Amino acid sequence: MGKKSWNWIVAAALAVALAGCSAGPAAPATPAEEDASGFVSLAQAAPDVILEIRYYSTYNFVGDRIDGYEQPCALMTRQAAAALEEASQDAQARGYRLKVYDAYRPSTAVDHFVRWAEDVEDTRMKAYFYPELDKSVLFDQGYIAERSGHSRGSTVDLTLFDMATGKEADMGGTFDYFGERSHPDYTQDLTPEQLENRNTLREIMVENGFQPLDTEWWHFTLADEPYPDTYFAFPVSEDSVPAA
């Protein structure tokens, strides 16, 4: 090999090495559970939906603001939010608006629920949310679990707001009530109006791509959810999601 060829090879190798040094280390990838790029704010995506984010307040079964709820906003995956906007339009055509209590729920919030459930002495909100149950059975009966479908970002808890009366529709039971009264098929001592209101909410949500849960009349999950195996952990905040 000639001297000129050898010099060219050395120079090329040095250039590659210097380029690698100047580029610096690659930025670490965002962990899947912290990646909010596929989420939107419901205030932007479904602006006619009323928000009453219970876990940002202290009026919930725990009695405290829940970890991970940094702002009283609602976040969902883009696909679920688009379907909820369609459901909102459907509700308005029937004289209602949708009122959301909870949507995406970070895994940090679920951890908070678990810690609360393990403290059987803390029963501050028993009279409001689980008067028929001893707190010690909440795990066994499935009211509290170590994971929630809400953390996948395509589940929503909601009710109907009646535009004619200016009040929430009477569902014959309150959001987050732990008991059989919350089951969608519960009929004992419910009035025809209460049964019709439950059926109307279910109709609106199912016709717009959501699946109901057999233990909570307020709970619906997008049938074709985009992240069926990812449980997200980023906080509930407008700052978590990309700007509209």
CA distance 45 to 228: 21
What confidence tens digit (pLDDT) does each residue in 57-70 have? 999 999 999 999 99
And the tokens for 135? 């707190």
Find the catalytic residue in 85, 216, 225, 238. Answer: 216
**Per-residue model confidence (pLDDT) at position 19:** 47
Domain count, the chain: 1
Q: Give the CATH number for residue 187.
A: 3.30.1380.10
Residue ranges making up the domain that contains 163: 36-240
| 106 is a domain residue | yes
What confidence tens digit (pLDDT) does each residue in 134-147 have? 999 999 999 999 99
**Per-residue model confidence (pLDDT) at position 243:** 83
**Per-residue model confidence (pLDDT) at position 115:** 97
User: Is 216 assigned a catalytic role?
Assistant: yes
Question: Where do the H-state alpha helices sit in 94-238?
Answer: 107-118, 126-129, 192-207
Greatest pairwise CA separation for the chain in angstroms: 98
| 178 is a domain residue | yes
| 131 is a domain residue | yes
pTM for this predicted structure: 0.88
What are the average pLDDT values for consecutive 10-residue runs of the chain, which has 244 residues? Answer: 49 47 60 95 97 98 98 98 98 98 98 97 97 95 94 98 97 96 94 97 98 97 98 98 85
**Per-residue model confidence (pLDDT) at position 30:** 81
| 5 is a domain residue | no
